[in-house]
Structure 1
Amino acid sequence: MHLTVTVDPGIHTRAPHYTLGLIAVPAIEVTGAEPAVDALLTGAEDALHARALGRADVAALPTVAAWRDTYREFGVNPNRYPCAAESLLRRVAKGDRLPRINSFVDLCNAVSLVARLPVASCDVGDIDGTLCVRPADGGEVYLPLDAPDAPEHPEPGEVVYADSRGRAHSRRWNWRQSDVTKTDRGRRRLVLTVEAVHEGGRAAVEEALRRLAHVVEGIGPGLAEQPLVLDGDTPTAELFTAQATTTPATR
């Protein structure tokens, strides 16, 4: 089963620096704990605790501020619906520890805290064909995280990850993941994502991908495909192929 991940041209028109990093993991056992992952997450939490950032300080971080501006550009109030990275950073900055979920969710949370970027583990075992980052038309069906029996429809124009079956797998870009793509324990087919919208964000995305790939290689040597990066020049990637590839934009 292959998967084409693509970014709608309209996204880059309004968010020209949007960069999406991807790591495909065709099959791996997601466990409840990995010592290396727990150490990474604890270290990221400790470093953030030491900075004693307030809510306004988190919002002013350059990577977060860029997401807040981008959310406003797409008609979303970032105070009510902060991006995934801001939500994590706020929670940890006030002194909390994040709940330990499983090896891949915890890994993504750790890298998100370090990179100050949205990082997610997506179970794509039920997705085949195309996954597109695009403005919603309002007809997509979204199954809320941990509440799949209460389906929603995204607002028209809201950015979502949409598949070829008319399902939305996020709300308000990366504010919430869907129940379909949440990562549970067991044998899984995953795509790890890293997103940035600030100028020069590609370097930050590539560094976060390196961190992810290093740990994933320790968990399952040789199981992940090479990281790929999508931007305005290269908006499409083919995953779960013998050799994953990206496709340049046509002008």
Structure 2
Amino acid sequence: MVNFMKLVQNENMKIYRRARTWVMLGIILVLPVLLSMLLYFASNSDETITGFSAMQLDGFLLTFLITIFSVVLAAEAVAGEFTWGTIKLLLIRPWSRSSILLSKFIAVVLFSLLITAIGFLVTFLINMAFFGATNDINEYIPELNAGAGVLFNELGHLFWLNYVTTLVIIAFAFMLSSALRSNGLAIGLSISIVFTAQLWSHLFLMIDKPWIKYVLFLHLDLTQYANGRGGPIADDPLTLGFAISVLAVYFVLFNLISWTVFRKRDVAA
């Protein structure tokens, strides 16, 4: 166990020694501050901009960037070793391939959790500083009273729902990273899923078949199930629990493929 933790630590060191990682962290820190400042000054002439709507906007933008940043790291986690020619040096060490793969996955997940936590706290604190606890949350959730605690919980719910999606996309990107030798190809294909998910969702919704409820793309936006909403299929309402269950199956499947491919692939070339 101690040796495995050292392996995870080594993978984390690879991530945080790169300048790109600190640029990502800097963006997560600075972006909500700049955006909230713009919204605050815009609210002088537009009274519809309030604390809750500002937090929502910041939250959606940040969770999208968090997904992109996490996908970039996940997609190059294994493929990057082939691109840089370091895969043989990694495999000759006294660790199994399964341990190496798991340590890489854990390191990427830890990074995604870190930037999610930072994004959440910065978004909450900066909007509380600019807008306070007085907000328009009752317009969206009438049964709740406005207040800092309510804002904290609702913003946390938004980040949590989006992080579940991020985790599944990380698993998909990690699968491509394990299967492909090209760093750039793994990153490109993974990011394309993020940008085209809504398009694929709309295309599948045009198919009037019961099996479409199990399609991955329809459940990548879990916010469509928030507050009792029935999801993307109008005539077949679904629940948040069902959507998470579908995503969990895909998450396990992607990781099984990653593990199988990485354990069996030939690295002699």
Same fold (TM over 0.5): no
| Higher percent of residues as helix | 2
Query: Greater Rg, structure 1 or structure 2?
Result: 2
Greater RCO (CA < 8 Å, at least 6 residues apart): 1
| Higher percent of residues as strand | 1
